[in-house]
Amino acid sequence: MGTDNIDARTALQEVGIDAVNAIQVGVDRRADTIINVATPPPDAAAAVPQGEVAFKFGIEGFGAGIPNENEWNQVIEEFVANDPLVGAIELDAIDIFGGNDLTSITESYDCFYRSSNIVPSADLSLLLPLDPLINSDFAFDASDIVGGALEQMRRENQLWGVPLHVSPQVLYYNATMFSEYGAFPPFAGWTTADFENAVRMIKFSPDDPAPFVSRDPGTATHLLLLMAAYGGVPVDYTTTPLTINFTDPAVEEAIRQVLTLARDGYIEYTKLAEQQSVFNIGADEDVVAMYSQLLGGFAFGGGNDDETYERSLFPQGVDFTALAYDVGAGHISANTQAAEGCYRFVSHLRTQPQLFGSMPILRSLINSPDLATAQGETAAEFYNAFDGLMESNNAVVFPSGFNVNSGGELFAIAWLYRVFDKFVDDENADLTFELSEAQLFAQSYLDCIAQIPPEDLDGGDFLASYRKYRECAVKIDPTAEAMFPSF
């Protein structure tokens, strides 16, 4: 009706004729058409020898695909051949954009891998606590796991995942470009003063492009890392709920210094306030002096193999050691009947860093020749340095990857992002006033969502939960509608 601009009766008559004709075609072909239907694949569990187990393992991916599926199949084949308990593993891709929330995942799979840490916001009743399995695992060595990663899997004094890799926020720099402009490249222990000197030398003319950009669009992780280096931490993500501190004088000064660099064109700036609910993939790939990007995650072995750039830590300050990273992990469903088999396999995955293309979770693998072959000779140097930062007593850890734009309390930072946008866009913006107002709105928002009944948020429906959060945001600040799109 819409396409041909015809009325309902005429449209129904036309499709009715088409249907009758289609049925007649089937009738005419019935006598001499042979249809071969493939038999269903054999049940993996049925083929497993007595005393062994089979289970289904899911891997986070795009659509129905796993980018490096052949490598996963090879690891599974070798594991099953050598493990006395596990007789078969069925591998499957989890399309996390296809409505597969944690409830459906734990109903469909015995165990699964997620590239981003789900423990902080997960419904723990769906996951199996792993402390009993780890406590009986004599091969488990907590001291071999890079600093802080194991604790990321803990909540309510229990362990809910086996960390498999770390995806650090990396500062990549173009050594050739630094040399051409006579700027000192990043080095171990470089400071904010060194960073400023470098960007000012590289951007010699006001018309030159920004020397430093982010290739994780829609987030401000790179800005928060720099602000911490300048001595200000506006958001403490280590507390539950998170703690906001927008109005502290040290925080205000750090924000002013970093955003002034952005306003003056030394840091490429993209508006942030209206992107809180947007998932962004892809980024500008122009050749630049420096860029920030999360390593690993969905790359599944891809990493960053562009020889134009070398890896570096972010500049560090006096008061804080600033870093951002995400932890990919294996989890076991509370519904499984193959908990021990799942644990044995997930534990084995810790020794297979080639599957993830990011920082190995085990210190003993960082300096291995295989890692140098896969990720380059300088990878170990960067990973050892990052591990050292993770162990620092004054470490300030910012969320990265999917955790940046996840819902609930993390949406409180939307008001801070709005301040960033205003300050960069308007040189007359009153930063003190804007931060004070943002603090009021953000704290009121956190107080509001704390009153939402848990049963309204535990159904596994992200959009339903988001609508509850949005309701709080718009109630305390009607102008927040632009930051929280309606779905």
CA nearest neighbour of 90 among 358, 336, 361: 336
Q: pLDDT value at position 116?
A: 87
CA–CA separation, 300 and 139 (whole Å) = 26
C-alpha to C-alpha distances, 165 to 35, 43, 116, 376, nearest whole angstrom: 48, 32, 10, 17
pLDDT band at 33 (very low <50, low <70, confident <90, very high): confident
Q: Which residue has the higher pLDDT, 280 or 51?
A: 51
Long-range contact pairs involving 370-378 (C-beta distance under 8 Å, separation at least 24): 375/303, 375/305, 376/305, 378/310, 378/311
Cβ-Cβ contacts under 8 Å for 148 (sequence gap 6 or more): 390, 391, 395, 397
Q: pLDDT value at position 373?
A: 81
pLDDT tens for 100-153 read: 788 889 999 999 999 888 888 788 999 999 999 999 999 999 999 998 899 989
CA nearest neighbour of 358 among 281, 282, 301: 301
CA–CA separation, 416 and 473 (whole Å) = 13
What average pLDDT is seen over the chain?
Answer: 87
Q: pLDDT value at position 279?
A: 43
CA–CA separation, 317 and 315 (whole Å) = 7
In this predicted structure, the answer to whether residue 229 has a pLDDT above a threshold of 90 is: yes
Q: What integer is the mean pLDDT of 80-98?
A: 89
Q: pLDDT value at position 401?
A: 63
Look-up: residue for tokens 């603090």? 439
Q: Which residue has the higher pLDDT, 54 or 376?
A: 54
Alpha helices of 276-375 — where are they, by DSSP H? 339-349, 363-366, 369-375
Find the radius of gyration of the CA atoms of the chain: 26
Q: pLDDT value at position 313?
A: 95
pLDDT tens for 421-460 read: 999 999 999 999 999 999 999 999 999 999 988 777 655 5
Cβ-count burial 186-214 (b if 16+ within 10 Å, e if not): beeebebebbeebbeebbeeeeeebbbbb
Q: pLDDT value at position 98?
A: 65
